[in-house]
Structure 1
Amino acid sequence: MVSVVELLSLVLVSILWGCTNPLLKRGTQGIETVTRPSKLTQLLAEFKFLLLNFSYIVPFLLNQSGSLIYYYTLSTTELSLAVPVTNSLTFLCTLITGKLLGEEFGGKYAVAGMFLTMTGITLCVVSSLDPSKQNKAIV
């Protein structure tokens, strides 16, 4: 049985993860120009580049807040529902946000894939609802 709060938490996590993925990708642009002579100084220079880059750090912090919400939601939600719903919706949010930012949409079958993904998510949610509440809603 899934509550409305749990379901909304999973949707919020998906939005936070999915919408920040393309922004994180954009925020890392330019890191390939950072070069240092040794591996350690290279690592430190890249770390500094990311920490001081607000177009990376803000989406990163939003993404991590999604992880905190997800961790909390897993303590109350069935794993068999939380994982497929969150991962599928994250994928959809990533595609949509990427498209809004001008990225390639994913080919001619992307819309069909999105429809099938939403159908699968709907089936997962409906199957996890309390059967006694489903009967009352029908009557």
Structure 2
Amino acid sequence: MSESTSSSIYSLWPALLVAVAWGATNPFLRRGVKDSESSPSFFSCDVHPLLRPLIQLLNLILNWRVFIPLAINQSASILFVAVSAAYPISVVVPLVNSLQLVVTTVVGSMLGEKLTAKSLLGCILIGAGVTCMLVDDNRSH
């Protein structure tokens, strides 16, 4: 593996950016969808049952509390594809998927969601696991 594709934490900053974007947008998406379910819809007319999912999707897209986090989240998904092509998938996927859970927990607690001891322990174990993975990967290269 060349120096430019080494999986050290410094060279994996795009993967960390994806994890932060995914993790930070999850609580906002959850809150936006919850708010949109309790608020009146832009299009609330009676429609054919087959069209109802399309109308619900349109209402979500028109709700900025859903659309903005969704746009950020999906932009990070595009970056994830590029990162997955440039770095070892055996490092990128576990790194991004695990750290986004930690970021979701932290951002959720900042937004007033309850932070349980189990969640905190999970974050610590994820951090330890990611550290072990990166140390082992760097030793093998």
Same fold (TM over 0.5): yes
Pairwise CA distance, 1:44: 2.3
1:126 aligns with 2:131: no
Gaps of 5+ in 1: 133-139
Pairwise CA distance, 1:45: 1.8
Q: TM-score, normalised on structure 2?
A: 0.82
Match of 2:3 in 1: none
1:55 aligns with 2:60: no
Gaps of 5+ in 2: 1-5
1:16 aligns with 2:21: yes
Q: TM-score, normalised on structure 1?
A: 0.83
1:39 aligns with 2:45: no
**1:120–1:52: structure 2 CA closer, same or farther, 3 Å change rule?**
same
**2:82 aligned to which of 72, 75, 83:** 72
Superimposed CA distance per residue, residues 24-60 of structure 1 (whole angstroms, 9 cap, x where no aligned partner): 1111123366564532231122112111111110000
CA distance in 1, matches of 2:89, 2:102: 20
Q: How large is the Cα RMSD of the aligned pairs?
A: 2.0
Match of 1:136 in 2: none
Kept in 2: contact 1:28–1:50 (CA 8 A): yes
Pairwise CA distance, 1:16: 0.5
The structure with higher relative contact order (CA 8 Å, sep 6+) is 2
